Structure 1
């Protein structure tokens, strides 16, 4: 009889312990849910009272750099991640440190600066006027030359027959203008042929002459002035 009584007491104690454990679990679960609600509410950095989803306020330290750093890439590094960006990343912001895009989603990147991903066009677009603006003048070319998408002014000194100036067809935005000046005594043939190339003279930049070309898209250039 005594043994049964001890066993009953032990069993009763065990059941009480079980109930206590269950209550603790419920309390922890409730706390976790409450914490999650707080995390997905508003976040403040350097402030206890954020006024938006995320608010970052400056500190009073004169030696502490202030600001926000977004992911930084070279064009090559970002191009290697082309497949990672789609509809879910529309509007995402990055900073380009160096490089010029030529193909794929980075083809519109021409300078360093802030760029955002535009999913409807599957391209990285410059954010405002953040990119630096440069005017690129080539060194003097004395033979056939393939222009770069970043060239703005091409200096030619062609004195040998049969030379060509090949204009870029990738990495170029519609409306891009490239100017060229030939101080040599021989003309240079323009490739691809300008849209307005009905006459032989309009297929070449004449000797001792200057002209400019405008990109129309789809690999097509035309004369903007000259010839």
Structure 2
């Protein structure tokens, strides 16, 4: 199945990733409120699961971001593109990579939109194949592809579902290289043990190594909800949980 893919054309300190609430993500960490839909809920090249479609990113743009008078003027899309490129070219998934990602994110905070934009870029890189991909992403691709090929009924038997296969493999790659916490922002579950940094600030700290508590029903309007709905016919019962558990990203119940 890997041949099928390759043929297709926060800030982190001491092990923590900082996330921030805003008016689009305020309900994200509450099971009592519906998952909010932000104004750039999108998927690549017209496969929209929300209201806006984002054009394909400029994958090889290595120009430095513009900053004026010490203020970071980059868009979320710019930062996500830079982070994804670091993941794409990395030879090792180590502290050095995480430091480079931390520098790329700068004073900004990871939020739902940034993770989604980063996933869009990872999908583009996976579609390009392995020719210029670094060893770290190659290893994550091998792992995610092997597990996904075992768990899902596509695309071996359903070639028309290849885009969905690439999407879930790419989500696994992003979580493998960044931490399972990204799966919460993609709507698959929730990380336990989050703590607010300073009362009333809205900033949340979570361990990057923490696993998620899987949700049987993905959060409404999330990437997970879109993917599950779009490819429901090809997803065997329990296969999403099995995929994430075998990727070592699900917190097992006692």
Q: Establish whether TM, by shorter chain, passes 0.5.
A: no
Identify the structure with bigger relative contact order (alpha carbons < 8 Å, sequence gap 6+): 2
TM-score normalised according to structure 2 size? 0.21
Choose 1 or 2 for highest CA Rg: 1
TM-score normalised according to structure 1 size? 0.23
Higher percent of residues as strand: 1
